[in-house]
Amino acid sequence: MNDAYSGLARAYEALFPVHPGTVAYLSRAGLGPGGRILDVGCASGAHPRAFAAAGFRAEGIDPSEAMIEAARAASAPGPHPGTEIPSYRRAGMLDLDRLCPPASRDAVTCLGNTLPHLRDEGEVEDFLGQARTVLVPGGFLVLQFLNYRRILAERPDRLPRLEAGAWMFERSYRYGNGYVEFDTRLSDRAGRVLSEGSVRLLPLTADRVADRAERRGFRVAALESGWDGEPFDPDSSPLVLLRFASYD
């Protein structure tokens, strides 16, 4: 997330709720009670709160000050009695080395199409290397992003409009040479435009990300299209869900 999304802080969780299978997925992957998990691109903090409620020690980072403020407000004094409050810091995807000591996290997540906000595949590899450094031996990284192989083949000019509560969220695409321009508009039910933004996305594919990750000391542990184990088809699946294990 970057400042193009700051205006969405109030509506983000209504529009993009946490999938109920996310926590169960992490548990199946081996993250146990008290596991230390870093959510990169946490937006308004819904995932770290869900992780903390499940008994994990959760931290979220995001470059948007508005998102971090919303995350802190939603987490205080705590999402559930008796659970540890997640911590939040304003930081980007390439700040992991600065924020986290080596071998200090059991899992790292980067969800909700956050990864394609990096500028190029060199930055992707840099992020993957930093994630590998902060993970303990045997720790894992979970990436979720849109299936750009399908998007580039079909070239839709817009995504379905999202409606939740008082909010309506419109999303459209413009295609360039090696990038996708993503335009957004948040409105209320009265038709008033509350926020507009545009951000350039890197159209990553599962095989390219896997190749970069393997260069940085990961192995592919799972390639799916959803939290419940939906199989991934590069030509038809809407989402990529990749889990990488670090070598012991």
Q: Give the CATH number, domain containing residue 208.
A: 3.40.50.150
Residues 22-74 have pLDDT tens digits of 999 999 999 999 999 999 999 999 999 999 999 999 999 999 999 999 999 99
pLDDT of res. 7: 86
Q: What is the DSSP string of 119-143?
A: SSHHHHHHHHHHHHHHEEEEEEEEE
Q: How far apart are CA 152 and CA 164, in angstroms?
A: 28
pLDDT of res. 3: 58
13 domain residue, yes or no: no
179 domain residue, yes or no: no
170 domain residue, yes or no: no
pLDDT of res. 248: 64
pLDDT of res. 5: 82
pLDDT of res. 103: 97
pLDDT of res. 247: 75
What is the number of domains present in the chain? 1
Could you say which residues of the chain have pLDDT below 70?
Answer: 1-4, 77-83, 248
Contacts of 32 (CB under 8 A, 6+ apart): none
pLDDT of res. 1: 44
Instruction: Tell me the Ramachandran region of residue 103: left when phi exceeds 0, alpha when psi lies from -120 to 50, beta otherwise.
Output: left
Which residue range is the domain that position 232 belongs to? 20-149+204-246
172 domain residue, yes or no: no
pLDDT of res. 118: 98
Q: Which helix (H) or strand (E) holds 37?
A: strand 36-40
Q: Among candidates 57, 72, 56, which has minimal Cα distance to 23?
A: 56
11 domain residue, yes or no: no
pLDDT of res. 2: 46
26 domain residue, yes or no: yes
12 domain residue, yes or no: no
239 domain residue, yes or no: yes
Q: Quick check: helix, strand or coil at residue 9?
A: coil
Taking the model in full, what pTM does it have? 0.95
pLDDT of res. 161: 95
pLDDT of res. 4: 67
